[in-house]
Amino acid sequence: MRTYSRRTLGLTNFWRHDPQVLEHIIPPRGGEFPDAAALALLINMVGDGRALEFGCGRGRLARLFDSDLYHGVDISSHAIEAAVETHPDYEFSVIEPYADLPETEIVFGVHVLLHIPDDLIDVMVAKLAACAERVIVCEIMNAEFSDEIFWPPAMNRDVETYDALFEDCGMSQQQSRAVSCDCYKHQKITVAEYG
Ligand SMILES: C[S@@+](CC[C@H](N)C(=O)[O-])C[C@H]1O[C@@H](n2cnc3c(N)ncnc32)[C@H](O)[C@@H]1O
């Protein structure tokens, strides 16, 4: 049986229960879509399949998808409440942390895996790989940018780390691109697809 550090449990509880989560949804600079260049790549990669957004926050990306093809899930009931209120035509659900995800064609997460601690990232990647044939991860992929002192901590990883984690689940990288966005002066956001 695995045991988890107090920090890992504290972080999961923060995302799950703290209303302050709503202040940490979007990268700090540049309005509602400071990551627009990366999101354009993401939308293109997702295509018109049935998509599950993992860690959807308050659903800011929902409107970029057809409501029949989109389902957003998050462990934060505060975030999901806000998502339901602002996007009544879309489907959103609160999920249990690290539980099985609903089956779909494609699952994607934007600025989510970097918030999953190292002692749970393999569990999380396995859940993503099990629920869909294609997985897309969109976030800064540069371990040097990792900031575990800041709260909530960001466990940024290199794309090679995700490649290895998905390979352990029988998936390989299909494509990846890194783009500059308004939110970070010196960092690019990477969009990587596994299948
Ligand atoms: C930085 S926010 C990004 C939200 C959204 N993807 C966006 O870009 O607007 C990170 C989100 O991941 C969610 N999250 C954190 N840990 C999670 C976990 N273990 N399972 C599912 N969602 C999680 C948080 O509740 C939060 O809504």
Rg (CA), the chain: 15
Average pLDDT of the segment spanning 20-46? 89
For residue 15, what pLDDT band results from cuts at 50, 70 and 90? very high
Mark 55-88 as b/e (b = at least 16 C-beta within 10 Å).
bbbbbbbbeebeeeebbbbbbbebbbebbbeebe
Atom of ligand 1 nearest to the CA of 59: 9
Backbone angles phi, psi at 3, to 5 degrees: -120, 150
Domain spanning 6-194: which superfamily?
Vaccinia Virus protein VP39 (3.40.50.150)
Atom of ligand 1 nearest to the CA of 110: 6
The pTM of the full predicted model, rounded to 2 decimals, is 0.96
Helix, strand, or coil here: 70?
strand
Pocket test for ligand 1, best of 112, 118, 135, 155 (most atoms within 8 A of CB): 112
Average pLDDT of the segment spanning 136-147? 94
Query: What would the pLDDT profile of 42-63 be if each residue is shown by its tens digit?
Result: 999 999 999 999 999 999 999 9
CA of 119 to the centre of ligand 1 (A): 17
The residue whose C-alpha atom lies closest to atom 12 belonging to ligand 1 is 55
Q: How many CA atoms lie within 13 A of 25 on its CB side?
A: 23
List the 188-194 sheet strands across, edge first.
Answer: 91-94, 70-74, 51-54, 106-110, 134-139, 188-194, 173-180
Query: What would the pLDDT profile of 82-102 be if each residue is shown by its tens digit?
Result: 999 999 999 999 999 999 999
CA of 172 to the centre of ligand 1 (A): 24
Question: Does 152 sit behind a cis peptide bond, omega within 30 degrees of 0 on the bond before it?
Answer: yes
Give CA–CA dist 156/142, Å, rounded.
Answer: 6
145 and 158 Cβ atoms separated by less than 8 Å:
no
Q: What mean pLDDT is reported for the chain?
A: 94
